[in-house]
């Protein structure tokens, strides 16, 4: 359920940074100021500044930034790497809260570099964690996971309990974003247990709240609200405005999903007030989006458009693609509901572009591979710890080489997959369009065939029931009349000639009627109709043989009709043009389809001139078989007879 998770993941990750030190948790401002005043050593002053900065970050970010500058001045004066790294880290936190992600990346890198040079692994892990959050906010979830796991390794190595709690919270939040609720729940429970062990209320609050979001994503809204109601009491008591904001936001979205839009709007405006207090463009945009959703649900589409447009502008300003990913479809639907289809289409096109950018940057398989890689490395580390120091060093060197190779392979693989998927989508779109065209052409062709066959049946019926009945009555009347009239020899001869002409006309009419729609084809099927047809051919002109294989049941009516017409047309062509005295027809039905083979011993013709022939008969054969998606193959040469092979797929 995207509405509930979009804001909470961001605030959870920030809260994870803010609660890092358990020393600041639960301490008053007076006690923290007293701690700074009483500090005598440089290290004591650095840690006091760190706790004060963390305190102000949740209530007055500008004050926290000013304190970080003071810490940097102290650290530079005393050339203290740890102090400088902590100051850089908190510069990054300040710009993160302002939504300036390029600055976040810059200071996260400086934190890691400075902490590494001073061999301060605790702060080094904090810098890596900050880089993970930068990648999360810029939509690069695979890179975010890589950095989270890297920070986790350092904290496991140093048995940094508070740091482990932050990593578990961060990983749980990231997996919740990826809809991997089972993994999210596992890490969040680990973080919750650490919070209870260290009596860190903020960690407990955030883990509880994130679990509430996992429940909400499973549509267990009542359960999510129960957890959030417990969390809000602790957040209010601790004067944690950001915590209050995130919990209210989640409660509002739960009410949205439950259809209680009036309650939802009330809570969202409470959230908006806190967002504006912190001048947090990213979170203001999220709240605009959530309010727009409520108004769109209640039919106030113009209000929804105004709020969603403001959200889109702020998401573009902060570079948060995931926000655009869920806001643009809402904006498109709202425009569509007001009848502004031009703007609706533009919003939808922008959404498709954002989707492409996010997809190219994130690979679900890469994320899964990174988790597997982390678990594998962790097991290898446990094995290494049991061996001698020299062996450990050799394995570490080997592992670094393997990691570089894997990283190179992963990079090539990701680029290849992205390129393949892009091309595949283009080809798929073309194939869908071509399929629609083919389907339309096929329907039109079948319509023509059906209309033609209906017309043949109508004409055949009219001949048989109309003209046939009249000719039959005329024959009876003429026979009766000739018997009653006393005719001389010459008159009787002429009368018999006239009667013979009428009889011949009647027989010809019956033959045409049966050729247009043979009774055998209607009643008994293709094989019987072909037998009846060839039995009427003059055996003195040409000897025709028929072989049927596998035609035990009836075929599709349209297939039978088309094949009968094609056989009829081909046999007539042989009789008229081939000068043959033998003709063999084979009908074969198997799992793949129906095959018709027609072979004569006539004079044949030049096969290379088939395409240039414009005769109606050959053209009819190709077009009729083509309607059934079949094929026609002709094998012939002058003086060598002709073989026609027709195949219609099942």
**What's the pLDDT tens digit per position in 126-156?**
999 999 999 988 888 899 999 999 999 999 9
Q: Taking the chain, what is the end-to-end CA distance rounded to the nearest angstrom? A: 45
For residues 263 and 194, give the distance between their C-alpha atoms in angstroms, rounded to a whole number.
34
The number of distinct structural domains making up the chain is 2
Q: Which of 517, 544, 561 is the last residue of a domain?
A: 517
pLDDT digits (tens, 9 = 90+) for 437-485: 767 666 655 666 666 666 666 675 566 555 656 666 677 777 767 666 7
Q: How many CB atoms lie within 10 A of CB 375?
A: 11
On whether residue 424 sits in a domain, the answer given is yes
On whether residue 627 sits in a domain, the answer given is yes
On whether residue 306 sits in a domain, the answer given is no
Q: Which of 500, 517, 534 is the last residue of a domain?
A: 517
Structure tokens at 296: 């769109």
Q: What is the mean pLDDT of residues 500-511?
A: 71
Same domain, 464 and 533: no
For residues 279 and 297, give the distance between their C-alpha atoms in angstroms, rounded to a whole number.
28
**pLDDT confidence of 22, banded at 50, 70, 90?**
very low
Structure tokens at 342: 């031009």
- pLDDT at position 374: 63
Is the per-residue pLDDT at 3 higher than 80? no
372-375: long-range contacts, CB 8 A cutoff, minimum separation 24: 373/406, 374/149, 374/152, 374/153
Same domain, 424 and 449: yes
Same domain, 485 and 410: yes
Q: What is the mean pLDDT of residues 349-358?
A: 85
Alpha carbon separation from 592 to 118, 546, 595, 630 (Å, rounded)? 75, 21, 9, 12
On whether residue 550 sits in a domain, the answer given is yes
Same domain, 535 and 597: yes
CATH assignment of the domain containing 549: 3.30.565.10
SS3 551: coil
For residues 350 and 357, give the distance between their C-alpha atoms in angstroms, rounded to a whole number.
11
- pLDDT at position 390: 66
Q: What is the mean pLDDT of residues 350-361?
A: 80
Strand order in the sheet with 543-549: 543-549, 582-589, 593-600, 642-649, 631-636
On whether residue 109 sits in a domain, the answer given is no
- pLDDT at position 346: 92
For residues 450 and 627, give the distance between their C-alpha atoms in angstroms, rounded to a whole number.
11
Same domain, 489 and 567: no
For residues 544 and 450, give the distance between their C-alpha atoms in angstroms, rounded to a whole number.
30
Measured at the CA of 334, the angle between CA 328 and CA 339, to 5 degrees, comes to 125
pLDDT digits (tens, 9 = 90+) for 595-624: 999 999 999 888 877 765 555 567 778 888
Same domain, 555 and 508: no
Is the per-residue pLDDT at 114 higher than 60? yes
Q: What is the full DSSP assignment across 508-530?
A: HHHHHHHHHS-HHHHHT-HHHHH
Same domain, 502 and 533: no
- pLDDT at position 154: 93
On whether residue 261 sits in a domain, the answer given is no
- pLDDT at position 179: 86
Same domain, 454 and 552: no
For residues 485 and 496, give the distance between their C-alpha atoms in angstroms, rounded to a whole number.
13
Q: Which of 499, 517, 535 is the last residue of a domain?
A: 517
Same domain, 554 and 619: yes
- pLDDT at position 401: 83
Same domain, 480 and 512: yes
Is the per-residue pLDDT at 553 higher than 50? yes
Is the per-residue pLDDT at 498 higher than 80? no
Strands 631-636 and 582-589: unpaired
Residue 123: CB partners within 8 Å, gap ≥ 6?
82, 85, 86, 89, 111, 115
On whether residue 89 sits in a domain, the answer given is no
Structure tokens at 216: 């909400």
Most trustworthy range by pLDDT among 104-113, 497-506, 538-547: 104-113
Alpha carbon separation from 72 to 45, 91, 434, 436, 524 (Å, rounded)? 12, 10, 65, 66, 98
The whole domain housing 446 covers: 397-517
**pLDDT confidence of 21, banded at 50, 70, 90?**
very low
pLDDT digits (tens, 9 = 90+) for 197-251: 988 878 888 888 888 889 898 898 998 998 898 888 878 887 778 788 888 988 9
Same domain, 415 and 505: yes
Same domain, 448 and 558: no
Is the per-residue pLDDT at 525 higher than 50? yes
Is the per-residue pLDDT at 355 higher than 70? yes
Is the per-residue pLDDT at 166 higher than 80? yes
- pLDDT at position 362: 54
HSE at residue 354, side-chain half, CA atoms within 13 A, is 22
For residues 218 and 510, which has the higher predicted lDDT (pLDDT)? 218
- For residues 151 and 374, the answer to whether their CB atoms sit within 8 Å is no
Is the per-residue pLDDT at 575 higher than 50? yes
Cα radius of gyration rounded to whole Å, the chain = 42
């Amino acid at each position: 359920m995207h509405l509930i998770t979009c804001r909470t993941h961001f605030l959870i990750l920030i809260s994870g940074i803010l609660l890092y030190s358990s020393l600041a948790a639960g301490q008053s401002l007076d006690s923290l100021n007293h701690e700074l005043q009483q500090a005598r050593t440089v290290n004591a002053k650095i840690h006091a500044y760190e706790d004060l900065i963390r305190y102000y970050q949740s209530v007055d970010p500008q004050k926290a930034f000013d304190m970080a500058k003071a810490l940097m001045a102290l650290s530079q004066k005393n050339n203290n790497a740890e102090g400088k790294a902590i100051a850089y880290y908190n510069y990054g936190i300040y710009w993160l809260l302002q939504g300036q992600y390029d600055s976040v990346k810059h200071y996260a890198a400086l934190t890691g570099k400075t902490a590494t040079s001073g061999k301060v692994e605790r702060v080094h892990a904090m810098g890596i964690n900050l880089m993970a959050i930068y990648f999360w906010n810029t939509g690069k979830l695979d890179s975010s996971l890589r950095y989270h796991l890297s920070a986790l390794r350092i904290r496991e190595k140093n048995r940094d309990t508070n740091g482990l709690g932050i990593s578990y919270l961060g990983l749980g939040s990231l997996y919740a974003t990826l809809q991997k609720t089972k993994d999210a729940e596992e890490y969040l429970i680990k973080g919750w247990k650490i919070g209870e062990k260290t009596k860190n209320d903020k960690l407990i609050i955030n883990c509880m709240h994130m679990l509430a979001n996992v429940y909400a994503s499973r549509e267990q809204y009542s359960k999510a609200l129960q957890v959030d109601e417990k969390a809000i009491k602790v957040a209010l008591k601790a004067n944690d405005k950001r915590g209050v904001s995130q919990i209210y936001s989640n409660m509002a979205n739960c009410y949205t999903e439950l259809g209680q839009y009036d309650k939802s709007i009330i809570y969202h405006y409470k959230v908006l007030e806190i967002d504006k207090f912190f001048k947090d463009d990213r979170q203001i945009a999220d709240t605009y989006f959530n309010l727009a959703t409520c108004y769109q649900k209640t039919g106030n589409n113009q209000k929804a458009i105004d709020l969603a447009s403001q959200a889109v502008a702020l998401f573009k300003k902060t570079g948060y693609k995931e926000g655009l990913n869920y806001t643009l479809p809402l904006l498109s639907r709202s425009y569509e509901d007001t009848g502004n289809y031009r703007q609706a289409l533009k919003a939808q096109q922008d959404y498709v572009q954002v989707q492409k950018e996010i997809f190219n940057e994130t690979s679900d398989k890469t994320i899964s591979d990174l988790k597997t890689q982390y678990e594998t490395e962790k097991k290898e580390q446990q094995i290494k710890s049991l061996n001698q120091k020299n062996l450990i060093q050799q394995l570490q060197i080997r592992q670094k080489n393997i990691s570089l190779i894997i990283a190179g392979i992963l990079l090539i693989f990701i680029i290849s997959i992205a390129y393949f998927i892009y091309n595949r989508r283009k080809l798929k779109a073309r194939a869908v369009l071509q399929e629609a065209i083919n389907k339309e052409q096929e329907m039109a062709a079948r319509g023509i065939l059906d209309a033609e066959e209906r017309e043949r049946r109508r004409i055949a019926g009219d001949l048989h029931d109309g003209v046939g009945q009249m000719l039959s009555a005329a024959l009876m009347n003429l026979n009766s009349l000739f018997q009653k009239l006393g005719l001389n020899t010459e008159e009787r001869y002429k009368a018999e000639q006239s009667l013979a002409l009428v009889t011949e006309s009647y027989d010809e009419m019956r033959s045409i009627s049966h050729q247009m729609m043979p009774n055998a084809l209607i009643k008994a099927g293709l094989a019987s109709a072909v037998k009846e047809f060839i039995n009427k051919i003059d055996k003195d002109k040409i000897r025709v043989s028929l072989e049927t294989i596998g035609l035990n049941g009836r075929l599709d009516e349209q297939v039978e009709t088309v094949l009968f017409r094609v056989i009829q047309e081909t046999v007539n062509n042989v009789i008229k043009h081939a000068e043959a005295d033998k003709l063999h027809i084979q009908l074969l039905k198997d799992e793949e389809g129906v095959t018709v083979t027609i072979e004569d011993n006539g004079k044949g013709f030049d096969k290379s001139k088939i395409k240039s022939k414009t005769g109606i008969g050959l053209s009819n054969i190709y077009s009729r078989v083509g309607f059934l998606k079949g094929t026609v193959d002709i094998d012939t040469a002058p003086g060598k007879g002709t073989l026609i092979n027709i195949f219609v797929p099942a």
